[in-house]
Chain A
Amino acid sequence: MSATVEAPVAFARGADAEKLIEVVGVSRRFAKRLDFAGKIAAKLGAPLRDEVVHAVDKVDLTIRRGEVVGLVGESGCGKSTLGRMVAGIMPPSDGAILWKGQDRTGLHGKEARAAMLQAQMIFQDPMSSLNPRLKVAEIIGEAPLFHGLTTRAGFSAYVDEQMRRAGLDPAFKARYPHQFSGGQRQRIGIARALAVQPEFLVCDESVAALDVSIQAQVLNLFMRLRQELNLTYLFISHDLGVVEHLSDRVVIMYLGRVVEEAPTETVFARANHPYTQSLLSAVPKIEARKKAFATVKGEIPSPLNPPAGCHFHPRCPHAFDRCRVEIPALQEVAPGHRSRCHLNDLPNHGGQPV
């Protein structure tokens, strides 16, 4: 039998805890510029132009110490891009990411490295996130040794400890990644991230590639580590069930913009934004037998060419004229509950969906 599962995690982390990360007006654009031949073709009248994708569009987000923030959205919503910017491996095009109130872009050398280590990432694909040519001990121990968190003499014991903490048998540390199962590989990724003693983890679809029973093991591990190490998480997932289970607060993105943000209970009980509502109704549930699957009409538009106004208006059942021209503001509809929808400005709407 595996280790017994721990006592329930206390969720009451004060809303007034220290702000660990502040994302202020952050945007990220990816441009595909025309090459020389393309430019000539465009001059000659070919329908070619530079293509710019607004992967993340002016996002504000605050993560407090000890919190688990769930970031939800479908493909093309920019959740992974935002996660990479928060983890510090991708610079934003605009805006700033503050770490404990401080902008890290000005740091250099040792200070910059120390700041990088504070935020670590757990990736989606347990195979491609591990270097296939290194042994597990090297994968886990390389960075701590390089940054002086352990010594050559203490290396072996340090790696053993990291492996044990992630639920791996240190006897296997001389093996290569391909010799492990998917769940174990994900544990190696977790051990690698935790080995540099971060305060904050960005989990990008970290359990999406795992089987249900293995997924449960890894989610339990995340919850246990949160308790043991007082970690803060940004948990990115398309799976609302997983996010609901783990998060204190949920942020929902659609085509680069945050459309709703609220404490988890609120989102699942009183979703305000029509997109959130349709997302919730589209999720299959075990309790819902032979149910008629609710359908949101239409497809997710291409991020290359998003609709004007509110990005969701072509699929929204409540869309009216204003939605087609004006971008709604992300405004507070209840304490701690923000939503980006014009419906909230209508009289007699009372912040609730029609």
Chain B
Amino acid sequence: MQPNIPASAAPPTLQVRNLRTHFFTRAGVVPAVNDVSLNVGRGKVLGLVGESGSGKTVTGFSIMRLVDEPGRIVGGEILFGGRDLAKASEEEMRQLRGNRVAMIFQDPMMTLNPVLRIDTQMIETMQAHRKISHEDARQRARDTLGMVGIPSPDERLKSYPHQFSGGMRQRVAIAIALLHEPELIVADEPTTALDVTIQGQILAEVQKLAATTGTSIIWITHDLSVVAGLADDIAVMYAGEIAEYGAVDDVLDHPLHPYTHGLLGSVPSRNKRGQPLLQIPGMTPSLLNLPAGCPFRTRCPRAAEVCVQSPPMAEILPAHEARCFRPHLENAGVAA
């Protein structure tokens, strides 16, 4: 492998271009995902970070084409494996899902069927997508369970989902996602409901998998510290838009967008003990009633007159984009 390959040389596994997903509710049109563009390279982990209502989960669901009525993808492209998933037929998506792209949910029971044994579920999943003998499928299921760190996988294959603890259930869901060695996994807050020590175990497994299998991962979370340890790139979402996008070190060490800046300041362990936390004032605006221009403007300490215009996504520093007219350039140690 050559070092320093320019990003354009190897086409990324997934390219999302100007994705827009809107929900057509009784109260009005909710722009849950608004002009989102991102790339995930082969074997890379992208951390998609945001608070509730930021659109991070809807972005993930849009990529999987799992957005339900009244939501609809109204614009943009989702380029994966040479085609545009935004325009793929339902049949094509069924073929892709669980095969070349897979999803892991916060609640593993979204994936698991409570009344079927684990082996039945795993073997059926495999046989649905390719011709494989029962024995081979069983072998593969066993190997995959071992791969995600489930002890004595032979015995565990015969168990029902309720016989597993929450952490183990999530591992089984991850194993099912891995069965077909997908090129892309979208993981929606898979460790949020788990205890710290169990979360640590799963993150360690995921880290190993990303490094060994070349699977690309979009890791959706509200927790900056999880993506800090896991991801290569970070996209910070706010009110349906990507506020800041770049490599982990760039975004976390030199945040450009005042929202990222505030978010990092809100993390207790980054503040001196007992000192007031740096807080972002106010609350996330309703997507139905966004302020004109920059959606963060009403909470932003750096807001100025120019912010009533919508800021474009701009590459403010090399490979480090932000949607802001007045970014924190002083943090980056560069003159504006």
Direct contact of A and B (CB under 8 A): yes
**Beta-carbon nearest neighbor of B281 in chain A:** A2
> Known interface pairs A211-B52, A211-B222, A286-B269. Does A5 touch B229 (Cβ–Cβ under 8 Å)?
no
How far is B52's CA from A211's CA once the two chains are assembled, in angstroms?
Answer: 7
**A259 CB, nearest partner CB in chain B, Å:** 13
Query: Is B204 engaged at the interface, CB distance under 8 Å to the other chain?
Result: yes
- Residues of chain B within 8 A (CB-CB) of A9 are 274
B192: shortest Cβ distance to chain A, in Å? Answer: 10
- Residues on the A chain within 8 Å of B168, using CB: 299
Q: Which of B199, B280, B301 contacts A282 (CB 8 A)?
A: B199
Set of chain A residues within 8 Å of B200, measured between Cβ atoms: 281-284, 293-296
Binds A, one of B4-12, B16-24, B260-268: B260-268
The answer to whether B279 touches A286, judged by C-beta atoms less than 8 angstroms apart, is no
Instruction: Determine whether the beta carbon of A212 is less than 8 Å from that of B224.
Output: yes
Task: Give Cα A1–Cα B267 distance, bound, in whole angstroms.
Answer: 20
Scan residues 62-87 of chain B and give those whose CB is less than 8 A from a CB of chain A.
none
B131 within 8 A of A: no
Residue B3, interface by CB 8 Å: no
| B248 touches A (CB below 8 Å) | yes
Among B196, B204, B267, B273, the one with the most A-chain Cβ atoms within 10 Å of its Cβ is B196
A30 within 8 A of B: no
Among A283, A291, A299, the most chain B Cβ lie within 10 Å of the Cβ of A299
Which of A31-39, A198-206, A215-223, A320-328 has 4 or more CB atoms under 8 Å from chain B? A215-223
Contact for A289 among B197, B249, B283, B284, CB less than 8 A: B249
Cα distance A284–B228 in the bound complex, in angstroms: 8
The CA of A239 and the CA of B225, in the complex, are separated in Å by 12
Whether A219 pairs with B196 at a CB distance below 8 angstroms is no
Hey, which chain B residues are within 8 Å of A242, CB to CB? Answer: 268
Residues from chain A with a CB closer than 8 A to the CB of B224 are: 212, 286
Range, interface on chain B: 35 or more
Instruction: Give CA–CA (A181, B282) in the complex, Å.
Output: 11
Determine if B279 and A213 form an interchain contact, defined as CB atoms under 8 angstroms apart: yes
Contacts of B265 in A (CB 8 A): 216
Q: How far is the CB of B187 from chain A (nearest CB, A)?
A: 15
CB-contact partner of B204 in A184, A238, A240, A293, under 8 A:
A293
With A212-B266, A244-B269: A74-B196 Cβ-Cβ less than 8 Å: yes
A148, CB-defined interface residue at 8 Å: no
Q: Number of A residues whose C-beta is below 8 Å from B?
A: 54
CB atoms of B276 and A6 under 8 A apart: yes
Q: In the complex, which residue of chain A has the Cβ closest to the Cβ of B268?
A: A245
B228 to chain A: closest residue by CB: A286
A8 contacts the other chain (CB 8 A): yes
Identify which of A184, A216, A244, A289 contacts B278 (C-beta below 8 A).
A216
Name B's A-contacting residues (CB within 8 A). 51-52, 165, 167-168, 195-201, 203-204, 207, 222-226, 228-230, 232, 248-249, 252, 262-271, 273-284, 301
Given A216-B268, A265-B273, A286-B228, 19 more A-B residue pairs with CB atoms under 8 Å apart are A2-B282, A8-B274, A74-B196, A181-B283, A211-B51, A213-B263, A213-B279, A216-B267, A219-B277, A238-B196, A241-B225, A241-B267, A245-B274, A285-B228, A285-B269, A290-B230, A292-B204, A300-B195, A300-B198
* The 5 nearest A-B residue pairs measured at CB: A282-B200, A216-B266, A5-B276, A245-B268, A241-B269
